[in-house]
């Protein structure tokens, strides 16, 4: 029975990061819009994450908008030398909080400068281009024009590494012809496993795969099998689902998000959870059927 712990790492660009990170999206208000319900609690969660050894934080300036980046700066700057902050661009929010594409060159350039300013950085570690060709999941479409803009900003020294979010395998291949892609951030979890082939292909190339909605997102994972396995392990279903993701492939980096200190500690503890072979077999059944 293999044990996964937070000392396990995988490359993210030129840096090795621990496989259990933190996603800042939930620090914004309801619907990822507006300020947090409790400003001080949001700062405490960020500081606790770093105190617990997290060295990979995922964010975006369109969370809020601008809210999570400013919270990160307030809580953590000056940043620890080993902290990698990953952001994403390619979307914007209107005054009612709707998510809209923002792919024009001037919008992409402005987004990079907004992230730099609000995070208080001179260079962004990793910028993911968030693709919005469809309202529901990845959809084909050329990414040459927007990614070329980011590659130029990378050459100017404003971005160290580039990644893609909500991308198809064909778009990843297209992107690699334009600039090195160091990570792909797509929806993936125990029950939503469309990206299984892509994860395996990226692992062979040493490219990180970062699942968003690792616990189901706005519709949390619900599975009798998951609940039963978790009960036998003395863990929560969400801890068990996170532990399964760590076992799924060595290139998976996790960024579960929360605005609660208790949930943060619970999520981080999932990195220490052993999954015996019978538990893995049962959970694989959830993935194959997509149900519990």
Q: What's phi and psi for 51, nearest 5 deg?
A: -60, -30
Q: 22 catalytic, yes or no?
A: no
- Residue-wise burial string across 68-94, b where 16 or more C-beta atoms lie within 10 A, e elsewhere: bbbbbbebbeebeeebbbbbbbbbbbe
Torsion over CA: 281, 10, 208, 32 (sign): positive
For residues 85 and 99, what is the distance between their CA atoms, to the nearest angstrom? 22
Sign (positive or negative) of CA dihedral 216, 219, 220, 221: negative
Please tell me whether residue 100 adopts helix, strand or coil conformation: strand
Cβ atoms 230, 237 nearer than 8 A = yes
Q: Which of 22, 63, 188, 209 is catalytic?
A: 63
Residues β-bridged to residue 178: none
> How far does CA 210 lie from the centroid of its chain?
5
**Nearest CA to 60 among 207, 208, 166?**
166
Measured distance CA(88)–CA(192) in Å, rounded: 22
Is residue 105 helix, strand or coil? Answer: helix
- The DSSP symbol for 258 reads -
Catalytic residues: 63
């Amino acid at each position: 029975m293999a044990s996964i712990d937070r000392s396990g790492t995988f490359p993210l660009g030129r840096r090795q990061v621990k496989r259990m990170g933190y996603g800042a999206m939930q620090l914004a208000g309801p619907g990822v819009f507006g300020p947090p319900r409790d400003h001080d609690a949001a700062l405490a969660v960020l500081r606790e994450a770093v105190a617990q050894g997290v060295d990979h934080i995922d964010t975006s300036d369109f969370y809020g908008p601008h809210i999570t980046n400013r919270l990160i700066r307030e809580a953590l700057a000056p940043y620890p030398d080993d902290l990698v902050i990953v952001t994403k661009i390619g979307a914007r929010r209107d005054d009612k909080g709707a998510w809209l594409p923002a792919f024009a060159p001037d919008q992409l350039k402005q987004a990079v400068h907004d992230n730099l300013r609000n995070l208080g950085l001179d260079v962004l570690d990793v910028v993911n281009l968030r693709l919005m060709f469809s309202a529901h999941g990845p959809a084909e479409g050329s990414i040459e024009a927007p990614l070329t803009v980011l590659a130029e900003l990378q050459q100017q020294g404003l971005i160290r590494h580039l990644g893609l979010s909500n991308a198809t395998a064909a778009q990843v291949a297209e992107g690699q012809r334009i600039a090195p892609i160091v990570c792909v951030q797509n929806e993936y979890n125990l029950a939503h496993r469309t990206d299984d082939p892509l994860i395996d292909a990226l692992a062979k190339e040493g490219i990180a795969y970062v699942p968003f909605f690792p616990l189901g997102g706005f519709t949390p994972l619900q599975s009798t099998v998951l609940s039963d396995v978790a009960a036998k392990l003395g863990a929560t279903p969400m801890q068990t689902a996170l532990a399964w993701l760590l076992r799924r492939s060595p290139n998976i980096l996790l960024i579960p998000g929360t605005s609660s200190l208790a949930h943060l500690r619970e999520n981080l503890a999932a990195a220490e959870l052993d999954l015996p072979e019978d538990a893995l077999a049962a959970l694989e059944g959830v993935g194959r059927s997509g149900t519990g």
